[in-house]
Amino acid sequence: MSKILLLEDDLSLINGLTFAFKKQRFELDIARTLKEADELWGEGKYDLLVLDVSLPDGTGFEFCKKVRQSSKVPIIFLTASDEEMNIIMGLDMGGDDYITKPFKLGVLVSRINALLRRAKDFRSTDTELQSNGIKVLLLQGQAYKNEKLLDLTAAEYKLLCLFMKNPNVVLTKKQILDKLWDCEGNYINSSTLTVYMRRLRMKVEDNPSEPQMLLTVRRMGYKWNVMN
Q: At what angle do helices 154-164 and 173-181 cross, to 10 degrees?
A: 120
Sheet holding 97-100, edge to edge: 27-31, 3-7, 48-52, 75-79, 97-100
Predicted TM-score of the model (pTM): 0.73
Q: What is the pLDDT of residues 192-222, one digit of tens each?
A: 788 889 999 999 999 999 999 999 999 899 9
DSSP line for 171-186: B-HHHHHHHHH---SS
Q: What is the pLDDT of residue 40?
A: 95
pLDDT at 3 over 50: yes
> In the chain, pLDDT over 70 holds for what percent of residues?
92
Q: What is the pLDDT of residues 39-65, one digit of tens each?
A: 999 877 899 999 999 899 999 999 999
Q: What is the pLDDT of residue 43?
A: 78
DSSP line for 116-169: HHHHHHHHTS-SEEEETTEEEETTTTEEEETTEE----HHHHHHHHHHHTSBT-
d(CA 164, CA 226): 9
Q: What is the pLDDT of residue 18?
A: 95
**What value does the mean pLDDT of the chain take?**
87
Return the higher-pLDDT residue of 99 and 118: 99
d(CA 196, CA 156): 7
Q: What is the pLDDT of residue 185?
A: 47
pLDDT at 187 over 70: no
d(CA 147, CA 76): 32
